[in-house]
Structure 1
Amino acid sequence: MNPEVLIRQAARLADDLREFAGLFARRAGDLLSGPERASIGQVYLVGQGDSYHAACAAEPAFASIGGVPGRAAGAFRFSAYDSRWAHRGGAGRTLVVAASASGRTPAVLAALERARDAGALTVAVTGTPGSPVTGAAERVLAVDLPGQEPSPGVRTYQASLLGMLLIAVRLGGAEALHGELAALAGPVAATHEATGPRARAEAEHAAGSPGAAVLGSGPNHGTAMFAAAKLVESAGLPAVGQDLEEWAHVERWARPRDTPVYVLAPPGHAHGHAGAIAARARELGKRVVVVAERGDAAATRAAHATFEVAGRAREEFSPFLYHVFAVHLAARVAQRLGRRPFQSRPEENH
């Protein structure tokens, strides 16, 4: 598996939004009746790996757009712990949305079974119609994409995130937002084009480091975890995705002092704090790279380098724009280190 597969995946992101956002929105519109929507009192978003990162990125939208509290949970944690009390003491029924691109993730299947046994309404978000999760859940939102090839999750991550956000939109009766999601295709394409050359330059620094940290908050805490996962899966580079303030409390003390720190700074509630954390990281000797809207001088003032994001989205939808840099960076770091995704062998170049 050649790292270039990641770039091909990134190149398809905008077209996927343009071609499938409307179709997936219509499917989401059929998931829940009006009375069912009104009955939901809380939502659990369950996944493993990229699906869990998508759940963390989508979580804030369930309160702000869907009108119900949402909580992201790893699939095993939900089965072993959360499912025991997820349906106690709250007003309304519990909705469990479980994502698996392959539709075969054992921990996600177990979570769906536990949720149904406890009386929750279950929805599977999957890229594989007819897969095991479609039989384990009461409802299915298929987010299947054509032309898939073996790769660390990129297009599948975006599809899972889109599916979860469309469920939040459906719960809140906010279908007017569908147009905003489809319109992100242009900014995603422009960000992809702008990111390529910058990633080649930044990969020289990242490849020479023993590790990296990616920081974000709100919906982009999920983006930070996704970005770190791509560096690990694609290049074998130890990386952590962390909340802005948690990093400032703990991981800032990690050595070596000049470890790269990538700070996600979209407009929104955490924007000012992202700039402050970037400045603090530079004071500590870190190599600071800020991912921010083009022309955002406030967020990038302390940066050694930047990844520019072309365009703006409401904060709940910003993960569609702020994860693109990581795909390019992971591919170029892997190439500089002579590594292949998932430590695959050279002959596995397909």
Structure 2
Amino acid sequence: MSEAGTRMSAEIAEQPAVFDAVLARRAELAEVAELAAAHRPRFALLAARGSSDHAALYAKYLIEVLLELPTGLVSPSTTTLYGAQPDLTGALYVTVSQSGGSPDLVEATKAARGRGALTVAVTNTPGSALSAVAEHTVAIGAGEELAVAATKTYTATLLTLYLLVDAARGGSGEHAAGLGELAASTLADTAAGVAAAVERYREIDRVVTTGRGYSSASAAEAALKLAETSYLGARSYSGADLLHGPVAAVDESTGVVAVTSRGRGGEAMRDVLAAVHERGADVLAVGSAAEDMPASRRIVLPDTAEEVAPILEILPLQRLALELALARGGDPDQPRGLSKVTRTR
């Protein structure tokens, strides 16, 4: 039997090479993006579950900001449980699923195609049931992932979605160039900061994660990782929503992980963190703007364009989840009650 956390640790370390592999396939991804753009969709819909749902949230920001196309996150159960049949003529329907095996996503995608949508599957399993029902399939290409907690498949999905949206707007992928090298330096340079955060948070039971804009996805994914590996009571809130009530539950016993990269989203977090910091919460700021934020401790990341920052932001947070689980006596490779593929309807 392997040591606890071995698989998750190895897959976190693989991500720089995975990024390079995804970037090498940019032309292939651009072909699908051009086909989708040629249909001139009126709006976009994104269907996903779990970590893939957080990747879809990132894509929602990308599509709405970079393509200025109205975009929504789908509730598959409106189709699978309630039998709703909306007219999806002119819709771009993108289903994001690492496994491509969840029955509700397969059924909803098939139904969307039958109701007039252009369907695209973004999956790490090209031969999956999802690929069979979608009109186009985009392979994430992260390789087999053995740990239950998604790490390399999540970030490879983010990068794949970015390259698709960037190509649809006629971009060259320039903001993503070199992300493999930046990922390697990020993992190396943040190790000490992660270790310090583990020492601080190993005894707490409640964590709030927060971010704005593109980084909302990073905050949501960080909360999921901390909950599923360390069994923490972790909740994610938009920085805007945090001050509309949930801040009342934040005090000296609450760990607050704030994702703050340079750009409009990160800047919008400044007043939020000042208010939270004043309540005595232990604030860990993570991102390229972390050193300028009101916080108790910081993990500073390299500067990038704001639209690709989430691809790097999550790396030290994955490592935090891994090492915190180990420090608390758990095995993040075998979280209780979880399996690699979750089948819902």
Residue 66 of structure 2 aligns with an amino acid whose one-letter code is I
Paired AA for residue 106 in structure 1: P
1:45 aligns with 2:42: no
CA gap 1:252/1:73 in 2 versus in 1, 3 angstroms: same
Q: Deviations over 1:73-131 (max 9, x none)?
A: 3543676689754637xxxx100110111110122112202211221010000101211
Q: In structure 2, what is the Cα distance between the partners aligned to 1:260 and 1:34?
A: 45
For the residues of structure 1 that align with 2:220 and 2:189, how far apart are their CA atoms? 22
CA distance in 1, matches of 2:266, 2:83: 31
Counterpart of 2:15 in structure 1 is: 13
Is 1:144 paired with 2:141?
A: yes
Shift of 1:198: 1.7
2:64 corresponds in structure 1 to 63
Which letter does structure 1 place at the counterpart of 2:303? R
Distance in 1, matches of 2:84 and 2:115, equals: 7
Residues 219 and 73 of structure 1: CA distance in aligned 2, closer, same or farther (over 3 Å): farther
Q: Give the 3 Å change call, closer, same or farther, for CA 169–105 of structure 1 in structure 2.
A: same
Q: Deviations over 1:320-346 (max 9, x none)?
A: 11111211110111011111235359x
* Consecutive unaligned residues in structure 1, runs of 5 or more: 346-350
| 1:348 matched residue in structure 2 | none
- Answer yes or no: is 1:162 the counterpart of 2:159: yes
Q: Would you say 1:307 and 2:302 are equivalent positions?
A: no
Q: Which residue is equivalent to 1:298? A: 292
In the other structure, the counterpart of 2:341 is: none
Cα distance in 2 for residues equivalent to 1:343 and 1:105: 20
Instruction: Provide the C-alpha distance between the structure 2 equivalents of 1:164 and 1:86, rounded to a whole number of angstroms.
Output: 25
- Is 1:343 matched with 2:327? no
Moved more, 270-279 or 34-43: 34-43
Match of 2:342 in 1: none
Q: 1:35 to 1:222 in 2, by over 3 A?
A: closer
1:216 aligns to 2:211 (yes or no): yes
Out of 270, 279, 302, which is 2:265 matched to?
270
Matched, 1:236 2:231: yes
- Take 2:117 and 2:169, find their aligned partners in 1: how far apart are those partners? 19
Aligned pair 1:281/2:276, yes or no?
yes
Per the TM alignment, residue 35 of structure 1 is displaced from its structure 2 partner at its CA by 8.1
Partner of 2:111: 114
For structure 2, the residue ranges without an aligned partner over 5 or more in a row are 338-345
Counterpart-to-counterpart distance in 2, 1:184 and 1:277 = 29
Give the distance between the partners of 1:181 and 1:79, measured in 2 at CA.
Answer: 37
Equivalent AA in structure 1 for residue 103 of structure 2: P
Superposed CA offset, 1:217-268 (max 9, x none): 1111111110111101111112112100111212211255420001111111
TM-score norm. by structure 1 comes to: 0.88
CA distance in 2, matches of 1:205, 1:8: 24
**Cα distance change on mapping 1:344 and 1:53 into 2, 3 Å:** same
Letter matched to residue 295 of structure 2: A
The amino acid of 2:154's aligned partner reads Y
CA contact (8 A) 1:195 1:308 kept: yes
CA RMSD, 1 decimal: 2.4
Task: Assess, with a 3 A threshold, how the Cα gap between structure 1 residues 217 and 35 changes in structure 2: closer, same or farther.
Answer: closer
SS of the aligned residue for 1:40 comes to: coil
3-state DSSP of counterpart to 2:126: coil
Looking at structure 1, the residues matched to 81 and 286 of structure 2 have their Cα atoms a distance apart, in angstroms, of: 36
Residues 313 and 65 of structure 1, relative CA distance in 2, 3 Å threshold: same
What is the CA–CA distance in structure 2 between the aligned matches of 1:241 and 1:85, rounded to whole Å?
31
